[in-house]
Every structure is written in structure tokens, then in C-alpha cells.
Structure 1
Amino acid sequence: MSISLVLACFWFVIANILAMTPSKDFHWRNAYMLIAAGIPIVGFVTTQHGPWVGLLVLAGGCSVLRWPVVYLLRWLRRAVRRDAGQNREPAE
């Protein structure tokens, strides 16, 4: 197994261990650290194994960190709705 997949597996093990520990801030600090470490790992996996394996690792990471992904999608949806409302031409 390549070093990039070993790092990805190690990331998943660390993520699951951190999820089992108690946290006062609902694991947000852990999520930020995992995101910061996971993005380069996904890029490394994609570089070594191609985009399909990279997408699989990305999907696995999104399933582990599902609440930050949910909040990101909600924020993007609000931003798109806000921009769509501002770009309308006034009716004459």
C-alpha cells in the first residue's frame, strides 16, 4: 500500500479516536485540525492514485466530518440566495 493511502487510513483512525473523546466545544476544534490535515492528504492520494480514488477518500472524509459539510452547504445556499436576490433588475 502506498504512503498516501497509509496516511489516509491513519487520518481515519485518528478521526475516530477523536470522535470518541469528550469535548466541551462539540469537537469543532478537532474538526478544524482534521480538515487542515486532511486536505493535503486528499491531494496526495489524488496525485498518486488518480481522481477516482481521491474522490473516494474525500467522500470518506466528508462522511466522518459530516456536520462541517452540512454547515458549509447551508452557508453556500444562503449566499447564493442572497446574491440572486440582489442581482434582479427592478420591474418597470
Structure 2
Amino acid sequence: MSLTLSAACCWIILAAILAAIPSNDNHWRRAYFLMLIGAPILVMVYWNDGILFGLAFTAAAASVFRWPLRYLWAWIVRQFARRPE
């Protein structure tokens, strides 16, 4: 197992631990921290281990960030749904 895959597995474990701890801000501060740490790991997984492992880690990260991704998707839909007057 490569170093980047090990880092990706540690990131997933860290995300699970952080999700289990109660939070006053609905875990947003932790989500920002995980995004900051996870983005370079994601790029390195694609770079070092190929597209299949990269897609697997992308799916794992998307399952961790399901609510932020839903909010992002809703915001994008609202931006394109606005009709110019």
C-alpha cells in the first residue's frame, strides 16, 4: 500500500472520529478542516495510484461531505434557475 493510500485511509478514519464527537456548529468547522486536509490527499491519490483508487477516495469523501455537497448543489441549481428580468 502506498503512502498516499495510507494517508487517505487515515483521513477517512479521522473523519469518522470527528463526526462522532458532538459539535455546536453542526460540524462545519470540522468539515472545513477535513476539506483543507483532504484536497491535497485526493490529488496525490489520483497522481500516485491512478484513477480507480482516486475515484474510490472521491466516493468516500463525497459520502463524508454529503450535506455540504447537497448545499453546494442546491446553490448551483438556484444560480442557474434564476431568470434574467
TM-score interval (norm. to shorter): over 0.9
Residue 70 of structure 2 is aligned to residue 70 of structure 1: yes
* Structure 2 match to 1:36: 36
Aligned-pair Cα RMSD in Å: 1.2
The whole-number CA distance in structure 2 between the counterparts of 1:28 and 1:51 is 29
Alignment-mate amino acid for residue 12 of structure 1:
I
Higher-Rg member (1/2): 1
Ranges of 4+ aligned residues in structure 1 off by more than 3 Å: none
The whole-number CA distance in structure 2 between the counterparts of 1:38 and 1:4 is 11
Q: Percent identity?
A: 44
TM-score (norm 2): 0.94
What is the CA deviation profile of residues 23-55 of structure 1, one whole-angstrom value per residue up to 9, with x for unaligned ones? 000100000110111111110000011222211
Structure 1 spans left out of the alignment, 5+ residues:
none
